[in-house]
Amino acid sequence: MTAAVAVADGPRAHSGSAVPGPDLRRWAHPATDRRGVLLRVAVLALAYCASGWAGLQLALPPGYATPIWPPSGLMMALLLLWGVRVWPGVWIGSFAVNLWVGYAQAIGPEQTIALVAAAIACGSTAEGLLGALLLRRFVAAPTLLDTAADIGRFFLLGGLLASTVAASISALALVAAGALAAADLAGHWLTWWVGDAMGVFLIAPLLLVAARVPDAATHGRLRAVALTVALALAVGSLVIQQTNRVESDRIAKEFTHTAADIDSDLETMLAEAGGAVYTLADFFEASTYVEEAQFARFADGLLRRSPGLRFLAWVARVPAASRAQHEREAQQQGLAGYRIRSAAGAPLGADQAYLPLRDLWPAVSGADLRGVDLGAEPQYRSLLEAAWAAGQLRASARLALIGKLGDGVVIAVPVKAPQGEGFAVGAIVVEQLMAHLLERYDRHGLAFSLTEPAAPPDAHLLYESGKAADSTLAWSGAHAFGGRIWAFRIEATPAYLRAHRSTEAWATQVGVLLFSALLGGFLLVLTGKAARVEQLVAMRTAQLHEKNRALAAELEIRARNEQRLRLAAAVFDHIGEATMITDADDRIVSVNRAFTEITGYREDEVRGRNPRALACGRHDPALYADIREQLREKGIWRGEIWGRRKNGEHYPQWLSIAAVRDAAGKVTHHVAVFSDISERKAAEERMLFLAQVDALTNLPNRYLLADRLQQAIELAQRSGQGCALMFVDIDRFKNINDSLGHSVGDALLREIAERLRRTVRATDTVARHGGDEFVIVMPAMTHAEELAHLADRILVAVAQPVAIEQHVLTPTASIGIACCPADGTDAENLMKHADAAMYAAKSAGRNAYRFFTPEMNTRVQQFLRIENELRRALAHGELVLHYQPQFDAFTGAVIGVEALVRWRHPQRGLILPGEFIPVAEESGLIQAIGEWVVDEACRQTRAWHDRGLRRVPVAVNLSAAELHRADTAGRIAGALQRNGLAARWLELEITESALMRDIGRARLTLQVLHDMGVQIALDDFGTGYSSLAHLRQFSLSALKLDRSFVRDLETDVNDAAICRAVIALGHTLGLRVIAEGVETTGQLVFLRGNRCSAIQGALFSPALPPEQVAVLLQPDYVAPVAPTLPVPLF
């Protein structure tokens, strides 16, 4: 049965009847609008490019065409299916592929490549249009290709005939562009024609068969055609690839053999040229005198045997002093008018030997070069001197030969002949040498180059003939000649590869074409007949299928129902939740595996029993009544309930019960589904615990504290008994944490938490409020005596020594107490007032407790106000430094300054440090202030130095918190480096109490600073608890006598004695002693009398701004009070 598919362009069938369009797959239908046409054009172009790239992998070297060209079959099938309106897709795809190939093979300039690609695209488009028109006319295409006649016409018209168009146009375009030799036209045309025909034979039938909607008759045929195409492509590809490999190997062997012969002959010719010059040198060494005619005959014979030589010459080597004698002898030997001269007539130098050309053969027509001094030419002199120094043949780089004989290479051999020293010289014209070398070989398609890689760029190339772009065949040889290395390279051009390609390649292409055509045609005919038979069988069996369809449907429904039942049983048994089914009388009918796993009861143990037998007895009967009511009204109940396992254990479960009704709405069963939620409930309880308990101490955290405090307040309001709140803060805990580490601090917090818990009543709540702060809530306790007694016990308990990580600590605490309702009736006020009382206890010296009073609130508010304003002052630069000079006690000269911080408050004016430094220390701001003071003091000191003022050290007070920080030394080094100040101009003042807080860390920090060059002064000496043993451990440079001793030394004998002792101690330890707070002349006289070296106080100068201090730092400044006082004699 022959059929044709109607396409948009309206095919005309020569036989058969049209088959309606729906027999085509959706993608194979022609477009019905412009958008569809454009889409198919784009798809055709992309498919053409992709299949073209695949086909090019089989191209015979170095062919532009390939023996299998899939795009030809692709475009033929799609033009038949989609209509000729999509021809632009063929042109675009072909143009893109050939443009890429043209660039890859560098067939010419860009314009030429584009024109060739366009011409080939036109040929491919014409091939597709011609083939489609012929096939629609004579084969009623698109066709099923199921008869031998249709298949034969399809292969003949669409394959063999239409393919001649593209092959002819492409071959002519490549020849016209110069990318293809005329001699290669026939072979290229054949390859192109075979490739296009093969594409039509293999690809087009596959696509046409695949375009049909598959049915029982055509499905097997599509598979057979696809297998045929795959087999043909595989066999063809393997055969062609093997042919390509064999061809490439054979051509490579031929090329290598030819190149080796040429390279060997070049070596021989160079040796012959060098030998000729050596022979000429031997001739001169053996001759007493050589006449001109004798030289000509001998040189002519050598030149005949060495075709690479242009001329031979004898060049004399004449010392400057022998020039005249050499010229006379030459004239006496018949060379009339002979004289040594330069070729250009320029004067010759007289400071080196002359190198005149004595004899030359053959002579240069129209020019007498005898007597020309070759030494006047730098290249010639360099060559001849190199040959003379080496004592053997040397060659020059490419240079201009004398006598305008063109470019060449000059070779020279030094000679010490009886008639005088000189050189045997020859000239090689490389073009002449290579022409003679290559005349015996077939040079077609070969490119040659002879270079000297080490020569200057302008002399690098000696010879070049032809060029090969990206050649895969090349021969490289190196020749040592006259002290130089010549590189010889031979490359095969595409013309060489085409000229040496054998007829086996063409025969292979034709064989693959015949094989594919016969195999494809045979399979198409065979499968076409089978398809028609299958169609007939399908018609006969359709009626039987229709009759059996009802029976099959019934059987299928029954099987499906059985499968559903099996699936439901499997789901019921394997579902993760426990399931129990009861009948209308509440008797258990069935349970699943999960039920047994959760409860421990097997199905046979509970079947027929009422579910109430499994109840735990925890719930009120009203709950079960509510469940029954919900099931009756809504048909479902969900909720959390307690169950009982077989072993008697109670467990929580999440239960869902649903009622099952029949068609009449009567309840027939109940289904209960439940899961064990024991783990979830435990997790919830754990999360609740973690949310309310401090993880470090296991005490209630601030959230649970708020709840307990609120409960205590509400209880106090109901009962009228009141309640109390204690705020407990660990004294100096931050110092412990910073100096000994967080592990020690955490351990101390845990220990104190346990001590507090043991000290209070069971009804009291001890909570960790945060950091080192604890809060104790005491319901029904407001009597001051009871609270004071409890506070004392807490202080005693906290102060007990504790050993942690080899450290023995004696902590203390400060406690603030607030009562409800006297100090507040809400949690916020009670907390705030207890906190204020705690700060009052700290201000009183720590390790104490205080009850809240209204005055405390005022002090707390003032503290918070100063803290907030101080933070703003740091951010807005309100802090300034004043400097109090330190004077030599005897000369009155300024020997140092101490930096003292001041606060320039925008409303209150200048505030002294005594008002805000305690707040800074308590709030932790002291560290930030300390960093700023060090940096600013370094900057100001460097500024004074830059102005040429007296260079004195600046003293800066270092707080205890800063001293015990691990990074203190690094921060101070950074400040010095940023401001460019040497370390010796900075002095740090440390108080005794700060040193004694942690002697080990202080000693380590001060040693690092001392090693940097920073000076260390011990401030307020005498007020602390240091000992001489401790003092010797620190690298100190000065002691500062505290002002409290200086103030009363005139009236208090004890203070005077302390001052004498401190001064004597300082001298004994080799330290400077600086007395602070000197305000009277009597104090000054006493201090000078006891040899105190330095004075600081209002008697000489108060603390001043930097600009006023600059006046005192003038080099000649002396304090005016000093000269008026008597200087003691020692």
User: Contact, 110 vs 133, CB < 8 A?
Assistant: no
Same domain, 207 and 225: no
Inform me whether the pLDDT recorded for 73 exceeds 80: yes
2 — pLDDT class (breaks 50, 70, 90): very low
- pLDDT winner (highest mean) among 385-389, 536-540, 992-996: 385-389
| Section 1010-1035 average pLDDT | 76
Same domain, 79 and 157: yes
CATH number for the domain including 782? 3.30.70.270
In a domain, 566, yes or no: no
pLDDT in tens, 1060-1113: 999 998 998 889 999 999 999 999 999 999 999 999 999 999 999 999 999 999
CATH number for the domain including 438? 3.30.450.350
CA diameter of the chain: 156
pLDDT in tens, 952-971: 999 999 988 888 888 899 99
40 — pLDDT class (breaks 50, 70, 90): very high
In a domain, 553, yes or no: no
Rounded to whole angstroms, the Cα distance separating 915 from 921 reads 11
In a domain, 21, yes or no: no
Among 202-216, 619-633, 818-832, 1066-1080, the least confident range: 202-216
Burial zone of 43 (CB within 10 Å; 0-12 exposed, 13-18 middle, 19+ buried):
middle
CATH number for the domain including 668? 3.30.450.20
Mean pLDDT (the chain, rounded): 84
Q: Which of 483, 501, 519 is the last residue of a domain?
A: 501
| Section 986-1013 average pLDDT | 86
Same domain, 203 and 240: no
Inform me whether the pLDDT recorded for 1129 exceeds 50: no
223 versus 135: the higher-pLDDT residue is 135
Tell me the two tokens of residue 116: 């060739």
Inform me whether the pLDDT recorded for 19 exceeds 50: no
Q: Which of 480, 501, 522 is the last residue of a domain?
A: 501
| Section 702-707 average pLDDT | 91
Same domain, 408 and 476: yes
Inform me whether the pLDDT recorded for 17 exceeds 80: no
628 versus 507: the higher-pLDDT residue is 628
Inform me whether the pLDDT recorded for 513 exceeds 70: no
Q: Report the domain count for the chain.
A: 5
In a domain, 1128, yes or no: no
Same domain, 492 and 378: yes
- pLDDT winner (highest mean) among 323-332, 415-424, 894-903: 894-903
pLDDT at residue 321 in the model:
85
Same domain, 814 and 912: no
Among 58-62, 227-231, 1035-1039, the least confident range: 58-62
Rounded to whole angstroms, the Cα distance separating 542 from 544 reads 5
142 — pLDDT class (breaks 50, 70, 90): low
Inform me whether the pLDDT recorded for 15 exceeds 50: no
Same domain, 88 and 224: no
In a domain, 864, yes or no: no
pLDDT at residue 516 in the model:
63
pLDDT at residue 10 in the model:
37
User: Contact, 296 vs 408, CB < 8 A?
Assistant: no
Inform me whether the pLDDT recorded for 170 exceeds 70: yes
User: Contact, 89 vs 48, CB < 8 A?
Assistant: yes
12 — pLDDT class (breaks 50, 70, 90): very low
pLDDT at residue 205 in the model:
82
Same domain, 208 and 220: no
pLDDT at residue 347 in the model:
74
Same domain, 226 and 346: yes
In a domain, 16, yes or no: no
158 — pLDDT class (breaks 50, 70, 90): confident
pLDDT at residue 976 in the model:
96
In a domain, 917, yes or no: yes
Report the percent of the chain where pLDDT is more than 70.
85
Q: Which residues contact 57 (CB under 8 A, 6 or more apart)?
A: 66
CATH number for the domain including 134? 1.10.1760
* Block residue for tokens 């001041």: 902
pLDDT at residue 506 in the model:
60
pLDDT at residue 946 in the model:
96
Inform me whether the pLDDT recorded for 1038 exceeds 90: yes
Q: Which residues contact 959 (CB under 8 A, 6 or more apart)?
A: 921, 926, 927, 930, 994
Rounded to whole angstroms, the Cα distance separating 316 from 329 reads 12
For residue 934, the SS3 value is helix
Same domain, 316 and 453: yes
Nearest Cα residue to 299 out of 318, 277, 322: 277
Same domain, 737 and 799: yes
| Section 410-415 average pLDDT | 96
pLDDT in tens, 791-842: 999 999 999 999 998 889 999 999 999 999 988 899 999 999 999 899 889 8
DSSP letters, 963-1020, are: HT-TTHHHHHHHHHHHHT--GGGEEEEEEHHHHHHSHHHHHHHHHHHHHHT-EEEEEE
| Section 535-546 average pLDDT | 63
* Block residue for tokens 């800066």: 956
Same domain, 149 and 222: no
User: Contact, 577 vs 661, CB < 8 A?
Assistant: no
Q: Which amino acid is at 838?
A: M
* Residue 649 Cα to chain centre, angstroms: 59
Q: Domain span at residue 395?
A: 215-501
Region of residue 83 (left: phi > 0; alpha: psi -120 to 50; beta: else): left
User: Contact, 797 vs 767, CB < 8 A?
Assistant: no
Tell me the two tokens of residue 56: 């090019």
